[in-house]
Amino acid sequence: MLGCSDLTVAYGDIVALHGVTLQVRAGETVALIGANGAGKTTLLQTISGLNKVRGGHISFDGSPLDSLSCERRVRLGIAHAPEGRRIFPGLTVEENLVLATSPWRPPGGRYGDEIAQVFELFPRLKERRRQLGWSLSGGEQQMLAIGRALMARPRLLLLDEPSLGLAPRLAEEVYERVGRIRRSGLTILVVEQNTVLALAVADRGYVLETGRVVLEGAAAELKRDPRVREAYLGR
């Protein structure tokens, strides 16, 4: 479904991705793990069209994405729950969700089905539907960021460190929901520093170090790999 081949991305003189090649097949959940500064956010932003590609290509369903705007990519079915949630603090939960559909819906369009689906997945958001974004806990904000991405009825969901800044129990709760989204058949690319959570939900994984893929394989194999255990699992 998604293919990145030999992707190079730079911020001025700082090269953040050095020839990254990876694939995400339809129906798969793929984890990209790496330390702070490895280039994970840069990769997701590049797939979404927020960063310029210096070298290499990205394809989606076999067609090149490189020249398409962010909005065109959303319309093709790519949705991004960004690092740090980026929800609107002064809008309610429900307004945050409705807003996420507006670019490709006619004014006055109906959002009932999508919202109902998001509320079914995250009952806590339903309870807090009239609450303002800023008043949500970190875990609830993360759920809202994921729910907002789902409002576009995507075919590929990009998740940027959904566990970041959350207490372990909340991070597990968010990942339990990611597992449900996966079982519903949606294709997911999740980037994480939390190797344990990400590899537990994924079919396959890649390890990114300073902008290069250094390891790839089935999630179960990566979990057992001594290099992953030493570098990312603290043993």
Ligand X SMILES: Nc1ncnc2c1ncn2[C@@H]1O[C@H](COP(=O)(O)OP(=O)(O)O)[C@@H](O)[C@H]1O
**Does the footprint of ligand X cover residue 2 (CB under 6 A)?**
no
CB 147 within 8 A of CB 97: yes
**Does the footprint of ligand X cover residue 201 (CB under 6 A)?**
no
**Does the footprint of ligand X cover residue 178 (CB under 6 A)?**
no
**Does the footprint of ligand X cover residue 14 (CB under 6 A)?**
yes
Which among 13, 28, 12, 19 has a CA at the least distance from the CA of 208? 19
Residues 6+ apart with CB under 8 A from 187: 1, 2, 24, 25, 26, 27, 28, 29, 155, 156, 157
Burial of 43 (0-12, 13-18, 19+ CB in 10 A): buried
In Å, what is the CA distance from 67 to each residue of 19, 23, 82, 86, 178?
19, 19, 21, 25, 30
Considering only 9-17, 118-126, 178-186, 195-203, which stretch makes contact with ligand X by CB under 6 A?
9-17
80 binds, among ligand X, Mg ion, none (CB under 5 to 8 A by kind): none
Q: How far is the CB of 116 from ligand X (least distance, A)?
A: 33
Q: How far is the CB of 169 from ligand X (least distance, A)?
A: 24
**Does the footprint of ligand X cover residue 16 (CB under 6 A)?**
yes
Site for ligand X in 22-81 (CB under 6 A): 34, 36-42
Considering only 11-19, 93-101, 110-118, 197-205, which stretch makes contact with ligand X by CB under 6 A?
11-19
96 binds, among Mg ion, ligand X, none (CB under 5 to 8 A by kind): none
Q: How far is the CB of 123 from ligand X (least distance, A)?
A: 30
Which among 37, 23, 26 has a CA at the least distance from the CA of 187? 26
Size of the site for ligand X (CB under 6 A): 11
Q: How far is the CB of 100 from ligand X (least distance, A)?
A: 22
What CA–CA distance (Å, rounded) separates 38 from 202? Answer: 19
Q: How far is the CB of 205 from ligand X (least distance, A)?
A: 15
CB 205 within 8 A of CB 199: yes
Residues engaged in binding ligand X (CB under 6 A): 11, 14, 16, 34, 36-42
